[in-house]
Structure 1
Amino acid sequence: MLGAIVRTHRERLGISQEELAARVGVSVRGIRDIEAGRVARPRPSTVRLLADAFALSGAERDRFCSDLLSTRRRRPADPSSLADWPVPGQLPADAEYFVGRCAELHRLTALLDSAAPRTTVVAISGMAGVGKTTLAVHWAHQVADRFPDGKLYVNLRGWEGDGASMAGEEALRTLLGALGVSPARMPVEVPAQDALLRSLLVQRRMLLVLDNARDAEQVRPLLPGTSGCLVLVTSRSRLAGLVVGHGAWSMPLDMLTAAESYALLTRRLGPARLATEPAATAEIIERCARLPLALAVVAARITTEPELRLRDLAAELRSSDGELHPFAGVDPATDLRTLFSLSHGVLTGSAARLFRLLGLHPGAEFTVALAASLAGIPAARVRPVLAELVQASLVTRVGGDRFALHDLIRAYARELVRSTEPDAVRACAEHRMFDHYLGTALASARRLEPSREGLPAWPLGAGVVTSPVGGAASAATWFARELPTLLRVVEWAGVTGRGAHAWRLAWAVTTYLQRSGRWREQVSMQRAALTAARAAADQVGQSYAHRGLARAQLRLARYDLAEAEARSALELSRALDDPFGQARAQQTLAAVFTGSSRHQVAMWHSRQAFVLFRAEGRRGPAAESLNSIAWSNAQLGRYHPARGCARRAIRQLRAVGDRHGEASAWDTLGYAHAHLGDQVAATRCYRRALRLFTMLGDEFLQAEVLLHLGDARVVVGDLSGARAAWRRALSLLDRLGHPGAEALRGRLSG
């Protein structure tokens, strides 16, 4: 009967057995066996594929499938006693407010399409509340019709705490019961139950959703032994054992995007409610850190408190200062603190301790070296501890040796460390953290500017691990990635009474901030450093912070503020009887007056700095002051003295290896040559300066040299070359947000 039905449809279409085999995706021999009657029990998936190949639909398709499946002889687990097995449909209800996850849904479907007829295991992992179960159940409903033999679901309760995790025997009994095995026929021994489950799944096309698994060991006995099934496993653990031992596909689940988060709130609250308060809506999404469960909790609160305005809720979340109490609930299944505590509760002692100490870290990302410093152990010992936190979805690896804590998980870690760790333990861990950042920043600053007069070496405490620093490029990359954290560390060091760390760390970051044009960040950091130094009554630190503030305000063309800061630094250095500090302050004042075009005053301060530096035997800084004198001479129309001073400065700066100072001196020499009528020499000097500044990454001074180069090209009649140089300068100034960009834009448009 089966063979005749298939043959009739094939011949109706006028296709060969080979063509039918290709359409169905089976071997030619398989089609021959079906038509010859050698296959008495076809798989439901094969029947469905045959119906597709014959282009059957509607009632005709239903009749075809019914006729073929009615020929199947059900094979019970115990042929002597079990009736035909049922077709279970155990999926929970689909989520009413499901949004987004398009990439994940597409990937799951693609895996299903490519996996047939193999059994595929997909491990969906992620932190508590990220929507693992919601995604698994939603997709399972989408593809339910592709599993005609049934859909099984079991909550393994792997993360419910208090010993509530489902034992392997209970899970096996649950699945076997769903497949029609009565208690009387249930094997007593777990291995026999495992074998029976595998037998019942042979040649079946079934979908198994194993939800909330603790680890791979809990899942292994429940996996089918033959092809045809698909298994979705959700867990807070990455389930590496399934990936390695069973070829499972790993699908870590991240937060929703901002657009998906907005769509979720729209589905729950309605578009009109959100449209009236767009700014508050955006802040709520940010404060919930795009975690689906957190968004659902606040949405439920808004729904049950209709008088609550979105702006009031946003203000409440803002004032909570990262605490979890706005996300508390009476239902443990939706209380974030409870969910996070269950993940923390299953960690080993060393992993739980590190997780708590990470609550002291003020940044979003951290390195292996930082984690080692917090724990006070070598980097090699902290790596497996971090791996455990990653497996538990409490920490995320963001690349290389860098990791991150989700905002709300960091809030939980902060609560834990404050409530469980003694004050002395927290203080020691914080001190190691500050030492880590200061030690790494000082080493990086030396790579960026080897000739810079450094601070005395900072003694690192026991257990401190600094990040490895390569060359200048590696140092700049480290500063760029750590900058948001470094600002918070400087502020936190001041709050905790570690002013010495605060102002030294701000000093170490100065070269990077100056060269990269991050002057506003420099102002913020130096102000925090100044506050910390004042709180510690540290006059040396105050003088350094005032000088750093002056340099930043100068680059922002805030000359009055820059002068005030530089004079404060000079007064403190005099009070401290610090000639070197006085020289640096005089040098800073010279730069301020140069910026405000008061060149005669700038010349006086440069000479004061030069005398002080030379008396202290500081050859490099003295040569920098000599170049400042040369520049003031040039601005005052004294081009021959300027040229001589610039040449002397270049020789001395090159001798001490100060490439940045040398680049500035080449720019000065080019300017003098240009005004003495030697445009060829001027262009040559400008290009040397430009190469050095480009190599050093100082975009602002690259722009200044390009301005001068453009002026030189105008003199020789090369207007296109001049405009090209100015356009490059404008691009740099725009990127830096420098106020001089508008004047240059006007010149180009004129």
Structure 2
Amino acid sequence: MGLRFGVLGEIEALRGQQRLEIGPARQRAVLAVLLAEANRVVPLDRLAERVWGRDQPQRTANTVRSYLSRLRSALPGTTIERRGEGYVLETEPESVDLHRFRALVARARSGDRDEGAAELLAEALGLWRGEPFSGMDTAWAADTRTALLAERLGAELDHNDIQLRLGGHGGLLPNLLSCAAEHPLHERLVGQLMLALYRDGRPADALEQYQHLRSRLSEELGTEPGPALRELHHQVLADDPALPGAPPRVANAPVPRQLPAAPRLFVGRGRELTALTRRMEIQREAGEAAVALAVDGPGGIGKTWLALTWAHANLDRFPDGQLYVNLRGFAPQAEPVPPSQALRAFLEALGVADTAIPADLDARSALFRSLVAGRRMLIVLDNARDSAHLVPLLPADPACTVLITSRDRLTGLAAGHGVQPLDLELLGERHARDLLTEHLGAHRVRAEPGAVRELLSCCGGLPLALGIVSARAIAHPDFPLSVLAEELRDASARLDALDVDDTELNLRTVLSWSSRALDPHAAKVFATLGLAPGPDIALPAAAALTGLSRSATRVVLRTLETANLVWQPAPGRYRMHDLVRLHASEQAEGSLSDDERRAALRRLLDHLLWTGHRAALLMKPNRTPLELAEPVRGADPVELADRDEAAAWFTAERLVVLAAIDVDWPEYTWRLAWMIADFLEQTCQWHEYVGSQRKALAAAQELGDLDGEARASRNLARGLGRVGTREESMEHLERALELSRERGDRFNEGMAHLDIGMVHNNAGDLRGALTCVREALAVFEAAGHRHGQAMALNNIGWCLAELGELRDALAYCHRALALQEETGEPGACARTMDSIGYCHHRLGEHAEAVTWLNRALDSLPDNDLGSRIEALTHLGDARHALGEHDAARTAWLTAADLAGTTGGPAADALRERLGGHVLTPSP
């Protein structure tokens, strides 16, 4: 009899009715993590983080191996094995209560018979024995527990809807009452309770539940119940004969739900909403490809609002999820989101591991089409630049629906895909007045008909302009509307504020009212934010830019967020709408002096440079630091504690730093490029690497800064070695070598020799490479630079190994490792372990090679993709030589997948090199 496992309560394993002893709490936690990811590889570091959190034992790997050994003994017949750098537990998904629960819920939601769905949901809910992952106390367990409880509530609500449709309201009432007490603001749940009470002959109690919810929403959130609940309330009041009809069933499956909230105030557009639905039905009847709907019109006309309103009104048509991306096709100060970046976000939302996402655009697009095939999904592509921007993002399956918005007419999409965009027009006078009334209230609008007419005339039916005017009026409830009308009249004559034919939508004056409504301090902060490079800004960086403390900056940003001038796409990161950002920039030009703008930008650049410099040295401790002047007052760099925090900072700020490199300030340009170089190299962002180093070299040469020129020349050459030509790479390295010698910089002189050796090695000139790295060793030894000596020794060992002098190669590599263990850089140690493993494999000592290569992989930082690819490739070679064909294929395929994420010729070369082995089934 097979084993059954439980995590929806206490963590347990059962054979029949017998509960097996599975050890102490941490051992049970290891089992629970593997069960949660059953049949998927869990990397060791992720397993440890989920089991121990931050309080991991010193020898985590050994402890995990010990627990797994005991679990194998306690769970006979269960396969738990190591694959690559992680572990996997193989079992039938139905044997784990968590996966059985999800499968039952999915089957219930995909069926079309209420009776069968009710049975499946009841069975799924019956699997719960208490709090999931009981006994685990890590952050992962808490987050997973919260998510699972939300899934359970969703299943319970689905079951309630079905029972209500089947007339089972009486039996539901006790549970509904207790559940509503636990979730008093959950509108769907309160609606179910109201319906059950109404059907039970208790309409007064149903109305009381509604009033109770409405009061709490008003007091705690300042909102009203949603339209579905308001409609149910009216039906109960009117004793509507349509009752007892249950509220629409809403799926709560764990699938992508990326739609932003529907606009709270939305009027008119009934014809357009109907047209979208009709076009969807016509295309779906044709059934040849994915349904594609498009809305076009000038900026600010309400394309996104229309799309989101339609999407939320039709959620029941897309039970398999909704994906959303703002493609920023017409952002005034930023490049559009590339299709490859949008596809990466979609693939991550669909559950594809980061390392499994292809680098090639066509491969990403093909994988995306495969994953959404057969799924009833909505994909919203907002603010597209043109048809070419969209084509890679279009699925091919007729089950999918794509909703597009753009300022472009998308003629290419119409010609190539038969999509006829819906041209969105300005609001008519009646609907524009209705929108203003929704914002300001009927009494205020009726009180000043002349001023309202003038406001409507000046806004010209543009929803964005109406919204900004309304925000200004709401900010000053005691001001007569005639004052706003007079301000708009004067400004529009001067700046042509409502020229809707302008593709950038000139709303400077209307936007200025929003900023004028701020107090002088907030208005200055708003203008200063317009100076920031990059697509968004983190709170510490915003504090540096403004010169305020972080707490004071947070307060002002909250004010700007309330005024709809900024928003938070993620906690602690702030973004402006395209037009608001442009307006803020112009405000900075007009309201801040040259000295103020320069001081603000310098604080921000110092903040980025000092934080990034610290991060760069945490990630690579033996890197020669820059000689930096003290940061200016107010720069307040972030205090990063360790390598993980450094990598996270670079990941979050990469685009900001790259934009800062473009700021016209050469002293910062080359230093910022230097500081991010290793991160871009390790994550194989080669095109960004080369682009930033070209700018660095130009800046250093403009300044006559020989240190900067030497560093940038060498870095640029390294990048060109990946994406450029050997000749250009060698030209820059020779210049770097010349500058290092002139300046007496022995370390960078040695590094230049090493890099020249790498160029020779890549060209197949092993003897030339060996000569260069021996010269590097001599330079490092003369300078007493032990880390440099270690790198040179490892490179000598590698060259000798390639030349077949394997025993000598091993001797050099072991000398290198001894030095690296002294200098304490895990990545350098790991790369030398890889070299040692490679030598043992070449000598026929394959088991010893596997040991060293596994040590290398355990030591390598996660984001050192290039080194991981090489070590995994070597591990596959050694495993294959031992006859361990499945393990070899796993290592090779993992290397190939990682190589696919890096792009460039290396990925193709690796797949070609591995193809004969990877595609051959194991015997």
Per the normalisation by structure 1, the TM-score is 0.61
The answer to whether the 8 Å contact 1:703/1:733 transfers is yes
| Residue identity opposite 2:875 in structure 1 | L
What secondary structure is seen at the aligned counterpart in 2 of 1:461?
coil
The answer to whether the 8 Å contact 1:710/1:726 transfers is yes
Please identify, of 387-396 and 547-556, the stretch whose mean Cα deviation from structure 2 is larger. Answer: 547-556
Alignment match, 1:680: 847
Task: Trace 1:344-493 onto structure 2 (pairs within 5 A).
Answer: 344-492=515-663
1:645-680: CA deviations, max 9, x gaps?
111100000001022211111111112222222212
Distance in 2, matches of 1:92 and 1:526, equals 49
Distance in 2, matches of 1:264 and 1:664, equals 48
The answer to whether the 8 Å contact 2:497/2:509 transfers is no
Distance in 2, matches of 1:265 and 1:359, equals 29
Instruction: Extract unaligned runs of 5+ from structure 2.
Output: 1-169, 171-194, 208-232, 246-264, 277-298, 314-379, 388-401, 425-434, 436-457, 466-493, 917-923
- Change in Cα spacing, 1:29 to 1:598, as seen in structure 2 (3 Å) is closer
Distance in 2, matches of 1:337 and 1:602, equals 61
- Change in Cα spacing, 1:99 to 1:573, as seen in structure 2 (3 Å) is farther
| Shift, 1:49, TM fit | 2.0
| Residue identity opposite 2:659 in structure 1 | R
Alignment match, 1:155: none
What secondary structure is seen at the aligned counterpart in 2 of 1:257?
strand
Distance in 2, matches of 1:602 and 1:380, equals 55
Alignment match, 1:203: none
Alignment match, 1:201: none
Distance in 1, matches of 2:659 and 2:791, equals 33
2:800 to 630, 633, 648: 633
The answer to whether the 8 Å contact 1:620/1:658 transfers is no
| Shift, 1:490, TM fit | 0.7
- Change in Cα spacing, 1:260 to 1:645, as seen in structure 2 (3 Å) is closer
Alignment match, 1:621: 788
Pair 1:742 & 2:908 matched: yes
Q: Sequence identity of aligned pairs in percent?
A: 31
| Residue identity opposite 1:94 in structure 2 | G
Alignment match, 2:414: 275
1:414-468: CA deviations, max 9, x gaps?
1111122111111111111110110110111122122322223441001112234
Alignment match, 2:741: 574
Pair 1:48 & 2:229 matched: no
- Change in Cα spacing, 1:49 to 1:503, as seen in structure 2 (3 Å) is same
Distance in 2, matches of 1:47 and 1:647, equals 84
Alignment match, 1:160: none
1:511-569: CA deviations, max 9, x gaps?
21111111111011111111211222212111111111112222347433322221121
| Residue identity opposite 2:238 in structure 1 | R
Distance in 2, matches of 1:100 and 1:602, equals 70
Distance in 1, matches of 2:652 and 2:274, equals 30
1:9-40: CA deviations, max 9, x gaps?
xxxxxxx9x9995277614999xxxxxxxxxx
Pair 1:94 & 2:232 matched: no
User: 4+ residue runs of structure 1 moved beyond 6 angstroms?
Assistant: 132-136, 259-274, 292-300, 324-327
The answer to whether the 8 Å contact 1:613/1:619 transfers is yes
| Shift, 1:741, TM fit | 2.7
2:678 to 507, 511, 530: 511
- Change in Cα spacing, 1:633 to 1:101, as seen in structure 2 (3 Å) is farther
Pair 1:329 & 2:499 matched: yes
- Change in Cα spacing, 1:422 to 1:718, as seen in structure 2 (3 Å) is same
1:721 to 877, 880, 887: 887
How many pairs align? Answer: 511
The answer to whether the 8 Å contact 1:707/1:725 transfers is yes
Distance in 1, matches of 2:593 and 2:793, equals 56
- Change in Cα spacing, 1:406 to 1:295, as seen in structure 2 (3 Å) is farther
Task: Trace 1:282-301 onto structure 2 (pairs within 5 A).
Answer: none
RMSD of aligned alpha carbons: 4.4
Instruction: Extract unaligned runs of 5+ from structure 1.
Output: 1-15, 31-42, 56-90, 103-127, 143-254, 286-291, 301-323
1:71-92: CA deviations, max 9, x gaps?
xxxxxxxxxxxxxxxxxxxx99
Pair 1:697 & 2:868 matched: no
Task: Trace 1:573-652 onto structure 2 (pairs within 5 A).
Answer: 573-652=740-819
- Change in Cα spacing, 1:404 to 1:101, as seen in structure 2 (3 Å) is farther
The answer to whether the 8 Å contact 2:496/2:506 transfers is no
What secondary structure is seen at the aligned counterpart in 1 of 2:238?
helix
What secondary structure is seen at the aligned counterpart in 2 of 1:347?
coil
What secondary structure is seen at the aligned counterpart in 1 of 2:728?
helix
- Change in Cα spacing, 1:730 to 1:53, as seen in structure 2 (3 Å) is closer
Please identify, of 476-485 and 45-54, the stretch whose mean Cα deviation from structure 2 is larger. Answer: 45-54
The answer to whether the 8 Å contact 2:383/2:406 transfers is no
The answer to whether the 8 Å contact 1:23/1:53 transfers is no
What secondary structure is seen at the aligned counterpart in 1 of 2:203?
coil
- Change in Cα spacing, 1:97 to 1:507, as seen in structure 2 (3 Å) is farther
Alignment match, 2:484: none
Larger radius of gyration: 1
1:501 to 668, 680, 685: 668
- Change in Cα spacing, 1:557 to 1:718, as seen in structure 2 (3 Å) is farther
- Change in Cα spacing, 1:708 to 1:269, as seen in structure 2 (3 Å) is closer
The answer to whether the 8 Å contact 1:265/1:299 transfers is no
1:57-78: CA deviations, max 9, x gaps?
xxxxxxxxxxxxxxxxxxxxxx
Distance in 2, matches of 1:543 and 1:260, equals 40
| Shift, 1:260, TM fit | 13
Distance in 2, matches of 1:445 and 1:487, equals 15
| Shift, 1:723, TM fit | 2.3
Distance in 1, matches of 2:406 and 2:718, equals 51
1:110-155: CA deviations, max 9, x gaps?
xxxxxxxxxxxxxxxxxx958599879x99xx9xxxxxxxxxxxxx
2:382 to 249, 257, 262: 257
| Shift, 1:589, TM fit | 1.0
- Change in Cα spacing, 1:683 to 1:353, as seen in structure 2 (3 Å) is same
What secondary structure is seen at the aligned counterpart in 2 of 1:49?
coil
Per the normalisation by structure 2, the TM-score is 0.50
The answer to whether the 8 Å contact 1:443/1:469 transfers is yes
The answer to whether the 8 Å contact 1:439/1:466 transfers is yes
Alignment match, 1:531: 698
| Residue identity opposite 1:697 in structure 2 | N
